[in-house]
Amino acid sequence: MIEIAIMGLGTVGTGVARVVEENAPQIERKLGEPLRVKAVLVRHFKEGPYRHLMTDDFKDIEGDGDIRVVVEAIGGVDAAYRYTKRALAAGKHVVTANKQLVAERGCELLALARQKNVNYLFEASVGGGIPILHPLTQCMAANRIDEVYGILNGTTNYILTRMVRTGASFEEALREAQEKGYAEADPTADVEGVDAGRKICILADLAFGHQVSPGEVPMEGITKLSLRDVEIAQQAAYRVKLLGRAVRMPDGGRTAYVAPHLLPSGHPLANVEDVFNAVVVKGNATGEVMFYGKGAGAMPTASACVADVMEALQESPQREEIGWSPDAAGFVDPRELPSRHYFRVRGTLEDAAAAFGRVEVLSEGAETAFLTESMTAREAGLRCSGLDVLAHLRAL
């Protein structure tokens, strides 16, 4: 019998307990022994199927030599960070879906895990049920990774899809996403791009091997996005999606950011809808590889967590392929990254052409919506200074 503990019994923690229970035969076949949840750390005791496993004292887990893996499903940084450190220091593997903690402290926690000869695994922190971190660090290990980008937040993708498809208001669509267990406890992190921002930091850390700190990465969500621009894009065979991007710059630096983008409707990410996420990894040997699946929700996220639990138990010594240096130097302002830009201005096509030269017109009238040729955001900002700009988005 292999015993584990879960810290936190919210969406993810409950999902982990369910997967361990419901998929017991498959898990036992692969591990060679049954896997059992021995303890669940909660702040407040509550009735339910896991009542008999609950404790509110972390020492019950820390001091129990039979518990070999701890799943941290508390979220946030404070308690999650303290307990993760103590669990690793006590020689237990730790598995998590906590992207905030991994983005802010992952490098340090990995180093501690290495020192203690245990694993700190966090596949579920990016893309929920989609395997992305293992493929990035293992299957694509022979590549130089030049770019990682994608739809990294299920809640905002769900909201955008519902608004476009059913005409739901932003508030209605957000409420539905919350009811389905997709949103963070505080959905501001979802709609303001912070959740996707943490995930692109983790992807950048692992893709480029250097710390990319969330504080340096500009994060813009969908709260300022106007339905008018979404509709103009749709009619002109483009889609608006919230993307996280991490790019290796030609001079060896790296950049990352989150912002809404226009994508041509034929782009593989353009039809990724509802709660689905998709991540594109550009390797210098593979070219573009895309990973697609459910990026949020209890069971998909728990699937990744429990797979990490199983890996931690099978791996000995710990996985070495995660190269993640604390050296954060070399981060470049994403305004230096060239791309096409979408503008909607109060004015004519002539005004647009006078500022930008050749443009692709998406809509004309009292307002003109157009796409520029590729240029840095800094240059686009300078060129539009004489225009009455109503909206500005990046485009792929």
* Rounded Cα gap, residues 247 and 207, in angstroms: 9
Binding-site size, ligand HSE (CB under 6 A) = 11
* Shorter beta-carbon distance to ligand HSE: residue 260 or 295: 295
Q: Look at residue 146 and give its three-state secondary structure.
A: strand
> Under 8 Å CB-to-CB from 356, ≥6 apart: which residues?
343, 370, 372, 373, 383, 384
Nearest to 56 by CA among 97, 8, 11: 8
* Shorter beta-carbon distance to ligand HSE: residue 128 or 293: 128
* Rounded Cα gap, residues 163 and 160, in angstroms: 5
Q: Which of 153, 161, 211, 372 binds ligand HSE (CB under 6 A)?
A: 153
Please give the structure tokens belonging to residue 261: 């983008």
Q: Which of 58, 122, 182, 342 binds ligand HSE (CB under 6 A)?
A: 182
Using CB under 6 A as the binding rule, whether residue 296 contacts ligand HSE is answered as yes
* Shorter beta-carbon distance to ligand HSE: residue 148 or 236: 148
Q: Kindly write out the interface string for residues 320-349 of this chain, putting x where it contacts ligand HSE by CB under 6 A and - elsewhere.
A: ------------------------------
Q: Which stretch binds ligand HSE (CB under 6 A): 49-57, 81-89, 136-144, 176-184?
A: 176-184
Q: Which stretch binds ligand HSE (CB under 6 A): 58-66, 182-190, 281-289, 327-335?
A: 182-190
Question: In the annotation, is 180 catalytic?
Answer: no
Please give the structure tokens belonging to residue 348: 């004519």
Least distance from ligand HSE to the Cβ atom of residue 154, Å = 4
> Under 8 Å CB-to-CB from 186, ≥6 apart: which residues?
none
> Under 8 Å CB-to-CB from 81, ≥6 apart: which residues?
101, 105, 109
Using CB under 6 A as the binding rule, whether residue 308 contacts ligand HSE is answered as no
Q: Kindly write out the interface string for residues 118-147 of this chain, putting x where it contacts ligand HSE by CB under 6 A and - elsewhere.
A: ----------x-------------------
DSSP string, 293-322: EE-SSHHHHHHHHHHHHHHHHH-SS-----
Using CB under 6 A as the binding rule, whether residue 295 contacts ligand HSE is answered as yes
* Shorter beta-carbon distance to ligand HSE: residue 127 or 347: 127
Using CB under 6 A as the binding rule, whether residue 190 contacts ligand HSE is answered as yes
Using CB under 6 A as the binding rule, whether residue 183 contacts ligand HSE is answered as yes
Least distance from ligand HSE to the Cβ atom of residue 126, Å = 8
* Residue spans of alpha helices (H) in the chain: 11-22, 24-31, 59-62, 78-89, 99-115, 133-134, 154-166, 170-179, 188-191, 194-208, 227-235, 298-314, 349-356, 377-383
Pairing of strands 276-283, 287-294: antiparallel
Least distance from ligand HSE to the Cβ atom of residue 300, Å = 9
* Shorter beta-carbon distance to ligand HSE: residue 75 or 347: 75
* Shorter beta-carbon distance to ligand HSE: residue 75 or 283: 75
Q: Which of 38, 99, 199, 241 is catalytic?
A: 199
In sign, the C-alpha dihedral spanning 224, 226, 227, 232 is negative
* Rounded Cα gap, residues 283 and 289, in angstroms: 8
Least distance from ligand HSE to the Cβ atom of residue 196, Å = 8
Least distance from ligand HSE to the Cβ atom of residue 9, Å = 17
Least distance from ligand HSE to the Cβ atom of residue 326, Å = 24
State the virtual CA torsion across 267, 190, 140, 120 in degrees, nearest 10.
-170
Least distance from ligand HSE to the Cβ atom of residue 303, Å = 13
* Rounded Cα gap, residues 307 and 365, in angstroms: 54
Catalytic (active-site) positions:
199
Q: Which residues of the chain form contacts with ligand HSE (CB under 6 A)?
A: 128, 153-155, 182-184, 190, 195, 295-296
